């Protein structure tokens, strides 16, 4: 009897836990899930620290060919420079688990970031994948934009050409640039959700 009761309680807790995770999941138009992560510089950054600013979140894995497409062509860094100059906070997040592709020591991160002249505000490490799962980050890259009130206003791909070929960049519509330009001009984001494309996040 006691064992059965424990089973029921455990099952109830499991269901409640699942429901809580679901209600906290990232959804455009709702508050973005909060987080605190450590950067490659060893500094803690919380989403809440940036209230009052637009925040771009970029899920990344420097060894993924789709990420290499955008960094090799200076496309991602150009976006980082353009919008951090306009006051946007740009956080790259890596959710690769230890031992998986794209998981590096802070020293390797710094070297790789210098090689590519990465211009993000910070690169944050999420080795247990908790933040990635909270945002339902599926691919690298997978892009999100949070407005100054902390509401998620964009989730999806970087552009409309799902390929790993850098030759496709010039002809692509960059959803992140469009969304940030619209949001900074005080307009609603025209295309708030798109399908992200790339490598799977290496949880």
Partner 1 sequence: MFYGLLRRIGGWAALLALAFLARGETPLAASARLIAADRVIRPGVPFTVGIHIRLPEGAHIYYRNPGDAGLPTRVEWTLPPGFTAGPLQWPVPARFAEPPLMSHGYADEVVFPAVITPPPRLDGIAAVRLAARVDWLLCKESCVPGGADVALGFRVGDAPGNPTPDAALLARFVARVPAPAEGWRFHFEEDARRLRLFARAPAGWTPARMRSLIFIPHAEDLTEPAAPQVWRATEAGEYVLDLPKSARGAAAGARLEGILREGDGHPPRAEELFFSVSAPARSNPDPSAP
Residues that bind partner 1 (CB under 8 A): 27-28, 63-66, 100-101, 133, 136, 138-139, 155-156, 161-168, 171, 193-195, 197-203
Nearer to partner 1, 50 or 134 (CB): 134
HSE-CB of 48 using CA atoms within 13 angstroms: 4
Question: By three-state DSSP, how is residue 80 classified?
Answer: helix
User: Across-strand partners of 114?
Assistant: none
Residue 102 DSSP SS3:
coil
Closest CB 108 distance from partner 1, rounded Å: 14
Q: Are 92 and 86 in contact (CB under 8 A)?
A: no
| Minimum CB–partner distance for residue 110 and partner 1 (Å) | 20
**For residue 14, what is the DSSP state?**
H
**Smaller CB distance to partner 1: residue 33 or 198?**
198
CA dihedral defined by 192, 94, 75, 33, rounded to 10 degrees?
20
Q: Which is nearer to partner 1, 125 or 132 (CB)?
A: 132
Q: Which is nearer to partner 1, 63 or 82 (CB)?
A: 63
As to burial, measured by CB atoms within 10 angstroms (0-12 exposed, 13-18 middle, 19+ buried), residue 127 is middle
Specify the residue, 81 or 133, whose C-beta has the smaller distance to partner 1.
133
In whole angstroms, the minimum distance from the beta carbon of 43 to partner 1 comes to 28
Least distance to partner 1 from the beta carbon of 6, Å? 24
Closest approach, Cβ 181 to partner 1, in A, equals 21
Rg (CA), the chain: 18
Ranges of H-type helices in the chain = 2-24, 65-72, 75-84, 106-116, 130-135, 175-184
Closest separation in Å from C-beta 65 to partner 1: 6
Query: Which is nearer to partner 1, 45 or 70 (by Cβ)?
Result: 70
């Amino acid at each position: 009897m006691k064992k059965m009761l424990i089973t029921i309680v455990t099952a109830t807790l499991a269901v409640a836990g699942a429901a809580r995770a679901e209600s906290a999941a990232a959804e455009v138009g709702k508050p973005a899930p909060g987080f605190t992560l450590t950067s490659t510089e060893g500094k803690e950054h919380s989403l809440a620290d940036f209230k009052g600013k637009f925040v771009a979140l970029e899920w990344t894995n420097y060894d993924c060919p789709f990420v290499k497409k955008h960094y090799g062509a200076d496309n991602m860094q150009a976006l980082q420079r353009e919008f951090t100059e306009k006051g946007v906070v740009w956080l790259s997040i890596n959710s690769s688990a230890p031992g998986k592709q794209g998981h590096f020591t802070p020293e390797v991160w710094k070297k790789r970031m210098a090689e590519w002249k990465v211009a993000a505000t910070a690169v944050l490490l999420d080795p247990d994948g908790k933040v990635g799962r909270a945002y339902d980050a599926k691919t690298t890259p997978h892009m999100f934009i949070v407005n100054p009130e902390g509401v998620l206003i964009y989730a999806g791909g970087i552009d409309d050409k799902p390929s790993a070929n850098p030759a496709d960049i010039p002809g692509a519509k960059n959803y992140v640039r469009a969304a940030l330009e619209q949001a900074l001009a005080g307009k609603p984001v025209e295309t708030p959700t798109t399908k992200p494309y790339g490598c799977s996040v290496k949880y």
